[in-house]
Amino acid sequence: MALLINNRCINCDMCEPECPNEAITMGANIYEINPDKCTECVGHYEQPTCVAVCPIDCIKLDPNRLESEDLLYEKFVELHFEI
């Protein structure tokens, strides 16, 4: 699954610089995660770094984006390597 930031976000600016895929950007009111770029840090780290640095635990799995670890890894390869 990709991750999403829920409306509890306080715009603390902690998550955006931690994303190795540049999937996190400021939305209209709160930070947002582009699900096409989110790999839950598969290929980079063992756990999502945005979740680790979020002080209020507002980054959750997106139930509308069911993706296996294999699919997340394929997305990582597409984002970072020329095929």
Q: What is the pTM of this model?
A: 0.91
All structural domains of the chain, each given as residue ranges with its CATH number in brackets, are: 3-80 (3.30.70.20)
At 1 the pLDDT is 72
Residue 82 predicted with pLDDT over 90: no
pLDDT per residue as tens digits for the range 14-51: 999 999 999 999 999 999 999 999 999 999 999 999 99
**Can you list the pairs that 54-59 forms with residues at least 24 positions away whose Cβ atoms lie under 8 Å?**
54/12, 54/14, 54/15, 55/10, 55/12, 55/14, 56/8, 56/9, 56/10, 56/12, 57/8, 58/5, 58/6, 58/7, 58/8, 58/9, 58/10, 59/3, 59/4, 59/5, 59/6, 59/15, 59/33
